[in-house]
Structure 1
Amino acid sequence: MKKLSVLFAVVVMVVSVSMAKAQKLATVDLMGVLNAMPEKKKADTDIKTFLDAKQAEIKKKADAGQAKLKQYTEEAPKKTADENKARETELQKLQEEIAQMQDKAQKDLQAKQDVAFGPIEKKLNDAIEKVAKANGYEFIMDANSAALVYKSGADATAAVKKELGIN
Structure 2
Amino acid sequence: MKKLSVLFAAVIMVVSVSMAKAQKFATVDVMGVLNAMPEKKKADADIKTFLDTKQSEIKKKADAGQAKLKQYTDEAPKKTADENKAREAELQKLQEEIGQMQEKAGKDLEAKKDVVFGPIEKKLNDAIEKVAKANGYEFIMDANSPAFVYRAGADATAAVKKELGIN
**TM band (smaller chain):** over 0.9
Structure 2 unaligned blocks of 5 or more: none
CA distance in 1 between counterparts of 2:48 and 2:143 reads 27
Partner-residue secondary structure (3-state), 1:140: strand
Shift of 1:11: 3.6
Residues 3 and 89 (structure 1), Cα distance of their counterparts in 2 relative to 1, 3 Å cut: same
Residues 70 and 5 (structure 1), Cα distance of their counterparts in 2 relative to 1, 3 Å cut: farther
Residues 69 and 4 (structure 1), Cα distance of their counterparts in 2 relative to 1, 3 Å cut: farther
AA aligned to 2:88 is: E
AA aligned to 1:49 is: T
Cα RMSD (Å): 1.5
Q: Which residue of 2 aligns with 1:41?
A: 41
Partner-residue secondary structure (3-state), 2:26: strand
Shift of 1:9: 4.2
Shift of 1:4: 5.7
Partner-residue secondary structure (3-state), 1:141: strand
Alignment of 1:2-17 (within 5 A): 7-17=7-17
Q: Which residue of 1 aligns with 2:157?
A: 157
Shift of 1:7: 4.8
CA distance in 2 between counterparts of 1:113 and 1:54 reads 14
Shift of 1:85: 1.0
Partner-residue secondary structure (3-state), 1:144: coil
Bigger CA drift: 152-161 or 72-81? 72-81
CA distance in 2 between counterparts of 1:58 and 1:137 reads 49
CA distance in 1 between counterparts of 2:9 and 2:56 reads 65
Q: Which residue of 2 aligns with 1:66?
A: 66
Alignment of 1:65-144 (within 5 A): 65-144=65-144
Cα deviation per residue 1:46-75 (whole Å; 9 max; x = unaligned)? Answer: 001110111111011111111211221222
Aligned-residue identity in percent = 89
Shift of 1:148: 1.7
AA aligned to 1:74 is: D
Structure 1 unaligned blocks of 5 or more: none
Aligned residues: 167
Alignment of 1:43-58 (within 5 A): 43-58=43-58
> TM-score of the superposition, structure 1-length normalised?
0.93
